[in-house]
Structure 1
Amino acid sequence: MGVEIAITVAREETRVAVLDGGVVTDLFGDRAKHKDFVGNIYKGKVAKVLPGMQAAFVDIGLAKAAFMHVSDLSLDSEPGDTLVDADEDDKDADKDGDMLGPRRQSSKPIEQLLSEGQELMVQISKGPIGTKGSRVTTYVSLPGRYLVFMPNVEHIGVSRRIARDEERARLKDIMKRVRQPGCGYIVRTVSEGVKEDELKSDVDFLHVLWQDILSKREQKGAPALLHADLSLSFRVVRDLFGKKVDRLWIDSREEYQAVRDFVQRFSPEQTSRIHFYDKDESLFDHLGVEQEMARALSRKVWL
């Protein structure tokens, strides 16, 4: 039977089961709930520039305007910026702190860089606290399975948690070959020992994601949300849907089409293994997932 992934989508919850030879090996769930804003990318509009604080307030469409300091501002058009190295760790993908990465810091005051009404792309680096709005930055970063993608900088870093010099050098050499020109990456801890084709797949995935964001930026007026945290279905495709998976089943027509269209753009050879499930019997019942879950939760275990 091989390895199969089943994604069942309902209004209140999305559930995922991974089966190997018909046996459930992993279960995941994602309930519809309030989402964390950290990591979201917006097309914003400058509401007010504060020269005394070297900061600005940016309208991103939330209840409160977002705060941005001049150190969080990167303008590609400004020459002579200085490349500043940051902590090369995969904390970049976490939501408990600033988005990290090398930054080209401006030497000009903020009033020479921004004006009220100006539109710009920003990412939330810290969520709202009390009466304060979110903090935003123009240094966008997108976490993948193995990499953190930084489109604003040209830099390759490796997580400090990868200690062996030989492995760090190997990963940097691979990234020099597979990177998108002009873009930066941080290689995450989970990349230790992975092959070049896996890193290349993550590069392609993140590039397609970034192109979608750029396309929305051109189509939408400010303020507008350009990118939110990936749904469970897309995280499964990013993290689990590799060559060892024989079939990926999805029981939502809309989610199936969205996933298939996305995979078609960065790995078209994999689309033949994505299937829409539309039978009367539920997908989890059909694959025996519900029965296995019932047995696992039963107070009586048959030996």
Structure 2
Amino acid sequence: MSSDLIIDVTPSEIVIALQENKKLVELTREKSGAKFAVGDIYLGKVKKIMPSLNAAFVDVGYEKDAFLHYLDMGPQFATLNKFLRIVSSRKSKVTSISKIQSEPDINKEGRVTELLKVGQSVLVQVAKEPISTKGPRLTSEISIAGRFMVLMPFSDKVSVSQKIKSSEEKSRLKKLVQSIKPRKYGVIVRTAAEGKKVADLDQELRGLVDKWETTFHKLKRAQAPSLIIGEMDRATALLRDIYTPNFNSIIVNDQSVCNEITDYIGSIQADKKKIVKLYKGRSPIFEHYSIEKQIKASFGKTVSFKNGAYLIVEHTEAFHVIDVNSGNRAKTAGDQESSALDVNLAACDEIARQLRLRDMGGIIVIDFIDMHVQANRQKVYDHMKEIMADDRTKHNILPLSKFCLMQITRQRVRPEEIIETAEKCPTCNGSGKIMPTVLFADELEGKVKYILKDLNKKKLYIAVHPYIAAYLTKGFKSYRNRWFYQYLKWVRIESNSALSFLEYHFFDENMEEIIL
């Protein structure tokens, strides 16, 4: 399986598209300067204790207080609290957590009122980003993720990913990490560490420890609420989690981000730096690589997937329903049971893709086409488990009921990706009344004349819908040729399927938009 990463960098956001075998499977957006991402570590202040929930609300600077449950405080919370008190003292000269005496683990059956009080400062990490009306979900079980391992301050345990099948390799990695890790640090060895040498692991471990030890200096002068350690930018964080040697290309349209990714890939696998490429084309990067078209086709309420079959996707706050429909396949030859099995198996592939693409979390209920044979229901269940094995997000799949309903729970750590694919009518602008269509060409021609003649622009680029682009360029007597003979300046027509039917934008020779 080949993978490609396309990254669109704009002043307001970074959009990351992951393709597998040229098919879009993940889409991630990050607003510029976005805060409260999963992995960010904050110094927060307890605002309210909720004994009935055995939880506390903590101010970390978000508009709504974040939620910290007792069970998310971690066994070493007392030691973490002691560390915070010692390091926050201006007279403290502690430079290593190995010098701090560990406290006993907290009681699993304890109460939040035993450990926290209103106004207390607490070191926390974002476990879930703000979703809908809810603030961030927090944990005090601090972890710092790298590519090969996850560092856990104040824990001495070393564990190895269950996805590494070889018991010999698990044993090798565990012994190796135990021999190089500092005292008072725990480590979770990730799947990517399989087969790696001690030098690679030691280098990353030192980097993670150094990153944690920046808190010693920051906490001395920090006032709650404040960010102590920020997660790396989303593009590099995604690479850290998904990068494999079978990546074909990583294409980005911004020089600085391109340099950052090249350096990161070089630190992982020096001979793969050449797969990182800077996109210099005139058309938008997502348009050039057909990402925009796939987005339009994949994010609607109705999603087609095979020979006329389609899905209906409905959403609520924490519940998603997917209905599988055979469409015009019902008219094809063959018995109903085998036809239903064929559609349901194909639907599994598209549903697994949709869950990753939209980052759907919570409870997902899938209404498959009815099958009366238990063996066929088992085939669909087995196929869904197999195809979902590539999904990095924690999930649980239940077998189909006798009504052919399947339940899936999938961890939700950030808001679901929702893109409105239905467009407001560009002709009537939603009013239901339109101006004479012949005036569109006159309106466009009048603006072209103003730009080329009155503003005296040397070059002009017009971005329009592909249908309009074809209309403006078709034939010898096209509008584009007419403008050239009239103004002696060539007008470049750029087609962009992301635009609505009669939408258009003007750009000058520096590709800066001309607002009229």
- Is the TM value for this pair above 0.5? yes
Aligned to 1:114: 116
**Cα displacement string for residues 251-303 of structure 1 (whole angstroms, at most 9, x for unaligned residues):** x9x99xx99xxx9xxx9xxxxxxxxxxxxxxxxxxxxxxxxxxxxxxxxxxxx
Q: How far has the Cα of 1:138 moved from its partner?
A: 0.7
Question: SS of 2:49's equivalent?
Answer: strand
Q: Please name the residue that 1:145 is paired with.
A: 147
Per the alignment, residue 85 of structure 1 pairs with none
Matched residue, 1:42:
42
Does the CA contact (< 8 Å) of 1:139 and 1:152 recur in 2?
no
Using the alignment, how far apart are the partners of 1:172 and 1:207 within structure 2?
18
Q: Could you tell me which of 197, 211, 228 is aligned with 2:213? A: 211
CA offset at residue 232 of structure 1? 6.1
User: Which segment is superposed worse, 154-163 or 29-38?
Assistant: 29-38
Amino acid across the alignment from 2:67: A
- Alignment-derived partner of residue 75 in structure 1: 78
On the 8 A contact 2:43/2:60 being kept in 1, the answer is yes
1:141 Cα shift?
Answer: 0.9
Q: Counterpart of 1:190?
A: 192
Matches within 5 A, 1:27-176: 33=31, 34=34, 37-62=37-62, 63-73=64-74, 74-76=77-79, 77=82, 104-106=105-107, 108-176=110-178
Kindly provide the amino acid, as one letter, of the partner of residue 228 in structure 2.
L
Q: For the aligned residues, what is the CA RMSD?
A: 5.4
Q: Relative to structure 1, is the Cα distance of residues 236 and 201 closer, same or farther in structure 2, using a 3 angstrom cutoff?
A: farther
Q: Distance in 1 between matches of 2:134 and 2:172?
A: 44
Alignment partners' CA distance in 2, 1:175 and 1:199: 8
CA positional deviation for 1:197:
0.4
Displacement after TM superposition at 1:154 (Å): 1.2
Q: CA deviation at 1:81?
A: 7.2
Partners in 2 of 1:232 and 1:52 — Cα distance?
Answer: 36
> Which one of 201, 204, 207 corresponds to residue 203 of structure 2?
201
Letter in 1 for 2:212: W
Aligned 8 A contact 1:202 1:238 in 2: no
For residues 127 and 233 of structure 1, what CA distance do their matches in structure 2 show? Answer: 17
Within 2, Cα distance between the matches of 1:124 and 1:158?
A: 23
Partner SS for 2:37: coil
Counterpart-to-counterpart distance in 2, 1:140 and 1:12: 28
Relative contact order (C-alpha < 8 Å, sep 6+): which is higher? 1
Q: Percent identity?
A: 33
Larger radius of gyration: 2
More helix, by proportion: 2
1:6 matched residue in structure 2? none
Q: Secondary structure at the match of 1:161?
A: coil
| Aligned partner letter, 2:59 | D
Of stretches 193-202 and 129-138 in structure 1, the one that deviates more from structure 2 is 129-138
Match of 1:180 in 2: 182
CA contact (8 A) 2:46 2:57 kept: yes
In structure 2, C-alpha distance between the alignment counterparts of 1:217 and 1:201, rounded to whole Å: 26
Aligned equivalents of 1:35, 1:144: Cα separation in 2: 20
Could you tell which deviates more after superposition, 70-79 or 181-190? 70-79
Distance of aligned partners of 1:80 and 1:212 in 2 relative to their CA distance in 1, 3 Å threshold: closer
Gaps spanning 5+ residues in structure 1: where?
1-8, 16-28, 83-103, 240-251, 268-303
Task: Note the C-alpha offset of 1:170.
Answer: 0.6
Structure 2 unaligned spans of 5+: 1-8, 17-26, 84-100, 242-253, 268-516
1:205 touches 1:238 (CA, 8 Å); kept in 2?
no
Partner SS state of residue 114, structure 1: coil
- DSSP-derived class of the 1:205 partner: helix
CA contact 1:71–1:105 (8 Å) conserved in 2: no
Q: Is the 8 A contact 2:43 2:122 kept in 1?
A: yes
Which residue identity is paired with 1:64?
D
> Separation in 2 of the partners of 1:36 and 1:111?
26
Equivalent residue pairs, number: 266
Q: 1:175 to 1:224 in 2, by over 3 A?
A: same
Q: Flag the 1:209–1:233 CA change in 2: closer, same or farther, 3 A.
A: farther
Amino acid paired to 1:155: K
Shift of 1:137: 1.2
Aligned-partner Cα distance in 2 for 1:55–1:151: 23
| Deviation, structure 1 residue 134 | 2.1
Offset at residue 152 of structure 1 (A): 2.9
1:205-236 Cα distance to aligned partner (Å, 9 max, x none): 11121112343222210001122220268659
Distance 1:160 1:36 in 2: 29
| Deviation of the 1:132 alpha carbon | 2.8
SS of residue paired to 2:78: coil
The aligned residue for residue 228 of structure 1 is: 230
Q: What per-residue deviation string (whole Å, max 9, x for no partner) do you get for residues 77-116 of structure 1?
A: 599977xxxxxxxxxxxxxxxxxxxxx4435432221111
Deviation string 1:18-59 (CA, Å, 9 cap, x unpaired) is: xxxxxxxxxxx9975256622221100011122333211111
Tell me how far apart the structure 2 counterparts of residues 174 and 51 of structure 1 sit (CA, whole Å): 44
Which structure 2 residues correspond to residues 4-23 of structure 1 after superposition, within 5 A? none
Cα 1:161–1:42 shift into 2, 3 Å: same
| Deviation sequence 1:178-197 (CA, Å, 0-9, x none) | 11211000000111100000
- Tell me the amino acid that sits aligned with residue 138 of structure 1: S
Partner of 2:324 in structure 1? none
